[in-house]
Structure 1
Amino acid sequence: MPTTQTLHSRSAGKIIPATQAKRSSIAKAKALAPEVPAQIGSTPQTRFRGDPDIFGRLVQDHDRHRALLAMIAATRGESGERKKLFKELVKELKAHAAAEEQALWSTVMRNPKTTDDARHAVAEHKQIDDMLADLAARDMASPGWLRRFAGLREEYLHHIREEEQEQFVQAQKHLSDSDVRYMKQFFNRRKREEKAAAKVTTQIKH
């Protein structure tokens, strides 16, 4: 069985030690605000961290998002760091979700054995997007903003844990090596395009 330290992938891509993959993702987040701590703590076990194909690529993003969430939680008021990190988080989550749906879930949804997992993941993407828009519409300096942000953080961490430990596991069983290699290439292209077009939208939730 693969371990969380080094995944022996089915494909011929380059395998990266899990700890190295995680450090690299955190470093990308830290580059935006080097003075803000990114204390993400322990992460749920997943056999995909370091995987050279689509699932490892998605976990790479997840770890970056974990770091951004931790960094925002460490900021104060309407600081420049909070504004910058939140904008980056919004663009990252929007682009990641859209590219993931196009590269992975659109295919997985067509298989009756994994349709429910795909629909669940896509529904949670919409819920998270609504929470981001609600936060963007509120005063960052208000005491309630960080409380609402904590709710978003909890929701998103639950979402990616579920993907890494359950939904990706089931999806992989029904995909070929060529599928997952192609999906990674397609995801990378769509992620770049989606992020370039992503905007921060505002909409108070009722």
Structure 2
Amino acid sequence: MATQIVETDAAKRKSPRVAKADAIAKAKAVAPDLAARIGSTPKTRFRGDPDVFGRLVEDHDRHRALLAMIEETEGKSADRETLFVELTKELKAHAAAEEQALWSSVLRDPETTDFARHAIAEHKEIDDMLADLAARDMASPGWLRRFAELKEEYLHHIREEEQEQFVAAEQHLRPTDVRYMRRVFNRRKKAEKAAATVEKKIKLKD
């Protein structure tokens, strides 16, 4: 039975190029006329993997595309508003589902507690930055500057996850756990996105 599971999963694996293209296409569906130039991405062996880490990277590539598309917009346009709402709901749902499917288990292992806590703390920082952007005038000169800060923070966060935290977590999880976590993630991501809202709260500088 175990052999059959491995063979089935292997058959579902996508090439990294196809997996990345599929993720970008999902983002493009929100605003088909805008370019999604995400360029090269940090190297990760998980892209296209059928299990939870590949599923998380798929979302990351989709988010990279949404970030790039927002940079193509101007002022308080309909595209900018639509894409920002989509990005906000995506990031909130992704973070919540990731914490429930992956980090809740990783936190129980003393050897992996620290980087799980680090990832969760960064989720909170990104959520605060999204709320701050939502509370500000999209047409103002400073909005894109603040958005660039969010983009930099988020790209740093997912690069760490893909190249360090996922690699470490995988070493402490059984293959059956990893497969189960994908199902949990997909189920929770759908529910969390349906419930996600755009919060508005100015983030005061320290």
Same fold per superposition (TM over 0.5):
yes
Identity of aligned residues (%): 72
Q: Is the 8 A contact 1:38 1:67 kept in 2?
A: yes
- What's the CA shift string for 1:153-198, capped at 9, x where partnerless? 0000000000000000000001111000000000000000000000
Q: Given the alignment of the two structures, is residue 118 of structure 1 paired with residue 124 of structure 2, yes or no?
A: no
- Per the alignment, residue 83 of structure 2 pairs with 85
* Structure 1: runs of 5 or more not aligned: 1-9
The amino acid across from 2:134 in the alignment is A
**SS of equivalent residue, structure 1 residue 46:** coil
**SS of equivalent residue, structure 2 residue 109:** coil
- Per the alignment, residue 106 of structure 1 pairs with 104
RMSD value over aligned CA atoms?
0.9
- Per the alignment, residue 141 of structure 2 pairs with 143
After TM superposition, the score normalised by the length of structure 2 is 0.95
Aligned partner (choices 54, 57, 69) of residue 56 of structure 1: 54
Q: Given the alignment of the two structures, is residue 95 of structure 1 paired with residue 93 of structure 2, yes or no?
A: yes
Aligned partner (choices 177, 180, 184) of residue 178 of structure 2: 180
Instruction: Tell me the distance in 1 between the aligned counterparts of 2:96 and 2:32.
Output: 28
**CA-CA distance at 1:15 after TM superposition:** 1.1
- Per the alignment, residue 27 of structure 2 pairs with 29
* Structure 2: runs of 5 or more not aligned: none
After TM superposition, the score normalised by the length of structure 1 is 0.95
Instruction: Tell me the distance in 1 between the aligned counterparts of 2:60 and 2:19.
Output: 11
* Structural mapping, 1:186-197, within 5 Å: 186-197=184-195
- What's the CA shift string for 1:11-35, capped at 9, x where partnerless? 4412110000000000000011111
- Per the alignment, residue 205 of structure 1 pairs with 203
- Per the alignment, residue 17 of structure 2 pairs with 19
Instruction: Tell me the distance in 2 between the aligned counterparts of 1:75 and 1:38.
Output: 11
Instruction: Tell me the distance in 1 between the aligned counterparts of 2:19 and 2:108.
Output: 31
Q: Is the 8 A contact 1:11 1:177 kept in 2?
A: no
- Per the alignment, residue 46 of structure 1 pairs with 44
The amino acid across from 1:40 in the alignment is I
Aligned residues: 197
